[in-house]
Structure 1
Amino acid sequence: MLEKDIFTISSSEAFETTALEVFRFQYRNVPVYREFCDYLSVSEASVQQVSEIPFLPIQFFKSHTVLAENTSVAKKFTSSGTTGSIPSTHHVANLNLYEKSFTEAFTQAYGKPSEYTILALLPSYLERGGSSLVYMVDFLIKASGNSNSGFYLDNTSALIEKIRFLEASKQKTILIGVSYALLDLLERQKFQLQHTIIMETGGMKGKRKEMIKDELHSVLKEGFGVNEIHSEYGMTELLSQAYSKGNNIFTCPPWMKITTRDPEDALTQLIDKTGGINVIDLANLYSCAFIATQDLGKIYKDGSFEILGRFDTSDIRGCNLMVL
């Protein structure tokens, strides 16, 4: 029943009701989360509203199996990490939930995948394996039903020719790429695109010096000849994504919500101030839907949000994460 309720949310009241139901389910069935709540002296009975739900620190995905009891693992996704760091592992019990979440989120933001040619420039993700981003993009490429859609690894020349062909054909296209690979592409070829959306994700992965987001987007806009750079905000530990269509301002699908906390006090909530990002991802039903990330951001009154950086002590990894 909960699986269906998650994707029928259409109001803040419905979100509140479903989030409380998900919390109760996870408190009863996810041992790591229950132990964390108990440590904070938070019980199932003591939580009466969403603002009282504890957020599990994302570091637990490096040291524990965050998974509901009596479920089997359908897929393991791992974070990219940095050399020598411990990767996060997300044990996913229900791939249908992940597929439904990212397909509906994409459709709500952009329309059906079949309306686009989808090009993927994600070399660092393809090379390591275990990437939830690659799983998502591969699924969307197949859902596009377009023979021109596909991944590109080292065949930059073929990608340049494909973009030229699609532009000449006036084909609606999305090029989703890890930031450093998009910059590498622009060193080979500059563009003046009219029918292609550029969506960056993933940072520099140690391949280039990190850049402030505004600087990166300025370089990409000039190089691709577009007015806006789109972005995808997701991570290994989540099953949902938020999208930005410009200015680094992200919006969530109805079953996902961002809040911010005081970096010095994990149990606070902030509005219109920079703080640590907490994510409610109700699609993450059989793992943990309430995660305290190591990102810094700002929430606006309409529910949109901006990513401003990361805590100094955090690993440089994940989707769309930049260090200022």
Structure 2
Amino acid sequence: MTGVPYHDENTGNQELRQSLLARIRAVNRETFSELALDVFRYQARYNSTYARYLDLLRRDAASVTVATDIPHLPISLFKTHDLRAGADWQPTRTFTSSGTTGAATSHHPLRAEAWYRQNARRAFELQYGSLRNRAVLALLPAYLERTGSSLVFMADDFIRESGREESGFFLDDLAGLSARLQSLKNDTLPPLLIGVSFALLDLAEQFSQDLGHTIIMETGGMKGRRKELTRAELHGTLGEAFAAAHIHSEYGMTELLSQAYAPRAGIFYPAPTMSVTTRDVTDPFTTLAPGRAGAINITDLANLDTISFIATDDLGRVGEDGTFEVLGRLDASDVRGCNLLVL
């Protein structure tokens, strides 16, 4: 066995975990790589699935000395494995992904709700300013109609944090949402309208109006209810209907506790706890240079209690400054050399 053996030391890891949490709270671009290596060593030791993965790769954690060499775990394992780092805690809740009937869905156990809220607020407010006194309107019908959505959990927290009685969810009341938006046109802080793509298109078709003062933020996803559009097509349609110079985007998923935001043109700025690279689609262990399109790898330090190193199924391109674009989804037929990933 060449990897670091898994250890479930119920008390031995607590001091180290607390130290890492404190460093993650304060992380920035200058300290990210060193902290990522320390989180990697922690999870190689305390996450049994990741330890087995490293063993199958014949990677000794001690031999990984630069953050770009850290192996990323296939995102599909959130559907089949317990990814808790350490087995001495029980989830306060479990986030789950949507899926077709009978299909396996991702499960992401959350150790502390306050930790998620803290990181989600920080990511948003670094881009847009305070949530306090900002009206937050959420149009997330596909997510509200099921349980376990991390996006609904985040939106609910933003609504509560806003402290505004005008904030709230709008399941299918597009007329009520339209009227609420009109009533907020003179707010000092631009209101936030966050919605799934198909629902925003429904609003655009039925209640076209001037929302130039509003942050209109799409979270992606047609959920089989509309024809798929490119991000440029979606933003063009919404921008015209709402007289908005820019449509904003949010990038997040069940498997992440961090988010990225694109204020314009689909260029995402990751949270301080998040870093993105791309990998070669034909060689999942080759990291590509900035500017080259490939499959997206995400390092999410907020995932300390599960797994921070995730090989996603998204395609993208990363800039020299750490921003990134999402170009589409990885076709399963393009994946090579991953038989080993089925543990």
Identity in percent: 48
* CA deviation profile, 1:16-73 (whole Å, cap 9, x unmatched): 1111110011011110111111110112211111112110000000111111222221
Q: How does 1:1-324 map to 2 (within 5 A)?
A: 1-12=19-30, 14-69=31-86, 70-169=88-187, 172-270=190-288, 271-313=290-332
CA shift at 1:148, angstroms? 0.4
Higher relative contact order (CA 8 A, sep 6+): 1
Q: Is residue 133–residue 164 contact of structure 2 (8 Å, CA) maintained in 1?
A: no
* CA deviation profile, 1:156-184 (whole Å, cap 9, x unmatched): 11111101111155652010000000001
Structure 1 length-normalised TM = 0.94
CA shift at 1:95, angstroms? 2.0
Counterpart CA distance in 2 for 1:217 and 1:84 is: 33
Letter aligned with residue 213 of structure 1: R
* CA deviation profile, 1:232-252 (whole Å, cap 9, x unmatched): 001000000000001000011
CA shift at 1:122, angstroms? 0.1
Q: Does the residue aligned with 1:114 lie in a helix, a strand or coil?
A: coil
Q: Is residue 56–residue 292 contact of structure 1 (8 Å, CA) maintained in 2?
A: yes
Q: Does the residue aligned with 1:167 lie in a helix, a strand or coil?
A: coil
Counterpart CA distance in 2 for 1:11 and 1:210 is: 35
Counterpart CA distance in 2 for 1:136 and 1:245 is: 18
Structure 2 length-normalised TM = 0.89
Counterpart CA distance in 2 for 1:43 and 1:169 is: 56
Q: Is residue 3–residue 97 contact of structure 1 (8 Å, CA) maintained in 2?
A: no
Q: Is residue 115–residue 172 contact of structure 1 (8 Å, CA) maintained in 2?
A: no
Counterpart CA distance in 2 for 1:169 and 1:304 is: 30
* CA deviation profile, 1:176-221 (whole Å, cap 9, x unmatched): 0000000011121111123201000131001111111111110010
Q: Does the residue aligned with 1:249 lie in a helix, a strand or coil?
A: coil
| Large movers: runs of 4+ above 3 Å | 168-171
Q: Say which is worse superposed, 118-127 or 60-69, in terms of deviation.
A: 60-69
- Any gaps of 5 or more consecutive residues in structure 1? 315-324
CA shift at 1:279, angstroms? 0.3
Based on CA coordinates, which of the two structures has the bigger radius of gyration? 2
Q: Does the residue aligned with 2:228 lie in a helix, a strand or coil?
A: coil
Letter aligned with residue 11 of structure 1: R
